Structure 1
Amino acid sequence: MFRQRSQPLVSAPAETAILSRLLAEGPLSRVELARRTGLSSTAVTKAARPLIDDGYLYELPPERTAPGAGRPVYPLAVDRDREYFLGVKISADQLFGAVCDLRAGIRDTAVRPVEVRTPEAVTALLADLVDELLDSEPAFRARTRHLGVAVNGDVDRDGGRLRHSGLLGWRDVPLAELLEAATGLSVTVENDVRALTVAEHWFGEGIGTGWFALVTIGSGIGSALVVNGRLLRGAYGVAGEVGHLCVDPAGPRCRCGATGCVEAIGSIDVILDTVRRATGDPRLGFPEVVAMARAGRPEAREAFARAGKAIGTGIAALVNLVGPERVVVSGEGVDAYDLFSRHIQDAYAAHAFGAASRCPLSLRPLPWQEWARGGAAVAIQALFPQPRAGG
């Protein structure tokens, strides 16, 4: 039976500010919450009360204070087990699922191979995966309302639709509606790189930053931006696509139809194809190409060098335009980061402008479970009122 999406847990700005801060940063006193949010101590106390009454927050034992230092301080903390969230990453050949607590800590995981890639078959398989995860611990089913799905492609998050995914071969799929009917959960669908960015910004490398970027190196080059504390989606649902910046007008044609895109030069699929053509061996796999490059084979090393230069140039353009405090580089391609690293860093240094070059690039190897955690982070985010497209 189709279930209406649940309303956000918090709607008042003060409640939103307090809960989001405690989710990201852990126990804080009311005084510290007031300092970090800009609210008055009275406003913090008033906003925290309903969250305490609902069991989302609780008071820790008082911190010790020196004699005569005044009233004891009772820090506020999030009850991680008050509610659980499911996250699923849909890839071309597997489903990766995770149950996470309220602070996105992974409690259990499961994987299913995808043999039939139609939306209907994947929906049924995903519903089975959800049941397996919910049944792995008695409390999970009773305390889980939200499912977040991370999927490759152009996603209309507000409408719950996957507009297009070349990886899956899907177009205009009402994915949230299908999954809500199949699971009975409230479903949020998000692009996989954006979901991973939400997880990193709220619970990982990006905690405490207002301006943050994540770039993924894989079969494509993905990226997403946080601007002034909010994930940037753009007016038409497309923003921060570093993979489709042109870095070589005379370069190869990208699968998007343009020429010279970062993705058309820097993705692992392109590196693999380049080395296959150079060696005349169409059977080569990416691990073999990596081994060739590490052994000093020039055709492989040159492909990685060219890719690294394109990626570094694209990241520099992103940093020049937006000015993030930190950029995280991730994705399956970072397993070969030693072959990219110098070329990425050199191109970044050559093209980053002025003080923007102070923005550090952080390497963050992430297993597939972390992509599922990204889906759960998007589900946690659904507790808060969300800006419409363009935010």
Structure 2
Amino acid sequence: MTPRRQSGRAPVTSPAAATVFTTVLTQGPVSRVDVARRTGLSSAAVTKASRPLIEAGYLVEMDSAQGGVGRPASPLDLRTDREFFLGVKITDRELIGVVTDLRSQILVTKFHQLPSRKVDAVVDGVSEMVTELLAESKAYKQRTHCVGVTVAGDVDRESGFVRYSPFLHWRDVPLAGLLAEKINTGKTDLEITVDNDVKAITVAERWFGNGVGADSFALVTLGTGIGCGLVVNGGVVTGSHGVAGEIGHIPVFGDGPLCHCGATGCVEAIASTDAIVAQARTATGEPGLTMEEVITGARLGDAALRRVFARAGVAIGRGLASMANLVGPERIIVSGEGLDAYDLFADEIRETFATQAFGAAAHCELILRPLPFEEWARGAAAIAVQTLFIS
């Protein structure tokens, strides 16, 4: 199977072209002079790199504005409707799909329930989602060439294999190839890219969110799992084996519970949604408690439930501090559905982080970032945009 192909649409064929394209993508409209100043490229290199992008309709020269030293400047900006992108986020219960423009602005959102976690059912569901999204507009059918699909777990983007997804109970699934075979029938010829969901969100955050302007930052997601995406020296860290930033599997309690990964005392085994619910049920002797009931009880002052959240906060704080000590990011963005309960362990997170972070690492800014579910699919679309300039 060949899960990915080079489309050859956007003439982003050199590092200079990729630099110019991403600068305009994230900071436009911007003049060539400013592109040169911000990137270190020469003015001639910027002009050479931008010309084919303008000719292909990806960049556009805006009306001249008065530039420096009395000379007019024609800022470069993105033609956002030059191409559209699909993003699909796979969860253990549903699919979230979006159509976005070239700046990953969401134009259409759809939610589909999954009847099963089995591979065939998910592949069929993603294929149906893609068909429905494209049917929303004739322009989408004509100008959509890339689909990004994301899933939690260990994903090898280059091969399109999901090596391990704990929530789907998958191992070694050639997802990109299966999707390409299912979707690309008849005249359809879409490039399928599969990646880890948190890494994809990190790409979107780097380009369009709280990561803009930061040379290094971390995005930590709290929820069913504890995920982390890292940007260092302006690039998303993928790891030599496709695994990096797994803060959820840092051991923080020697006597902690067994994690699904096989280790003990991991952050995720103590502070994920499922782990908090399990500990709350044990602490109260009520086996039917839901997360909503656990949160409500803790806010009403139930001491046992508050201790569960406090321990989770300590685990998260230790994980954040370990990551800050190793990587030294400028800021840490904390997001995910787990933010719904943030008030119940915020003090423990911040106090533990301040205590465990070494020296100046404790000054790392912590930013709370709400993450609606459709933002996960937007991240998937962002990795589809990436295919324009990743060889």
TM-score, length-normalised on structure 2?
0.95
What residue number does 2:107 align with?
Answer: 107
Q: Describe the superposition over 1:313-339 as per-residue Cα deviations: whole angstroms up to 9, x where unpaired.
A: 110110110011111111111111111
- From 28, 38, 41, the counterpart of 1:39: 41
How do 1:13-52 and structure 2 match up within 5 A?
13-52=15-54
What residue number does 1:75 align with?
Answer: 75
What residue number does 1:116 align with?
Answer: 116
- From 305, 311, 314, the counterpart of 2:316: 311
Distance 1:119 1:241 in 2: 25
User: CA 1:71 to 1:6, structure 2 compared with 1: closer, same or farther past 3 Å?
Assistant: same
- From 260, 265, 274, the counterpart of 2:270: 265
Q: Describe the superposition over 1:125-171 as per-residue Cα deviations: whole angstroms up to 9, x where unpaired.
A: 11111111111122111000000001011111100111111211111
Say whether the 8 Å CA contact 1:253–1:264 is kept in structure 2. Answer: yes
Distance 1:320 1:107 in 2: 39
How do 1:250-289 and structure 2 match up within 5 A?
250-289=255-294
Distance 1:98 1:233 in 2: 24
Query: Alpha-carbon deviation of 1:384?
Result: 1.4
Q: Kindly, what percent of the aligned residue pairs are identical?
A: 53
Say whether the 8 Å CA contact 1:127–1:183 is kept in structure 2. Answer: yes
User: CA 1:65 to 1:122, structure 2 compared with 1: closer, same or farther past 3 Å?
Assistant: closer
What residue number does 1:12 align with?
Answer: 14
SS of the residue corresponding to residue 73 of structure 2 reads: coil
What residue number does 1:364 align with?
Answer: 369
Say whether the 8 Å CA contact 1:213–1:224 is kept in structure 2. Answer: yes
How do 1:151-170 and structure 2 match up within 5 A?
151-170=151-170
Say whether the 8 Å CA contact 1:176–1:187 is kept in structure 2. Answer: yes
Distance 2:346 2:298 in 1: 13
Query: Alpha-carbon deviation of 1:59?
Result: 0.7
- From 243, 246, 256, the counterpart of 2:251: 246
Distance 1:229 1:23 in 2: 15
Say whether the 8 Å CA contact 2:163–2:172 is kept in structure 1. Answer: yes
Distance 1:304 1:194 in 2: 27
Distance 1:282 1:302 in 2: 18
Where in structure 2 are there 5+ consecutive unaligned residues? 185-189
SS of the residue corresponding to residue 238 of structure 1 reads: coil
Q: Describe the superposition over 1:203-252 as per-residue Cα deviations: whole angstroms up to 9, x where unpaired.
A: 11101222111111112211121111121121222111111111121222
Distance 1:7 1:139 in 2: 18
Where in structure 1 are there 5+ consecutive unaligned residues? 387-391
Distance 1:382 1:357 in 2: 36
Distance 2:169 2:200 in 1: 20
TM-score, length-normalised on structure 1?
0.95
Amino acid at match of 1:205: N
Q: Does 1:299 align with 2:304?
A: yes
What residue number does 1:179 align with?
Answer: 179
Q: Does 1:92 align with 2:89?
A: no
Say whether the 8 Å CA contact 2:4–2:193 is kept in structure 1. Answer: no
Over the aligned positions, Cα root-mean-square deviation in angstroms equals: 1.5
Say whether the 8 Å CA contact 2:298–2:306 is kept in structure 1. Answer: yes
Count of residue pairs brought into register by the alignment = 384
Say whether the 8 Å CA contact 1:2–1:181 is kept in structure 2. Answer: no
Distance 2:336 2:242 in 1: 22
SS of the residue corresponding to residue 72 of structure 2 reads: coil
Runs of 4 or more off by more than 2 Å in structure 1? Answer: 1-4, 6-9
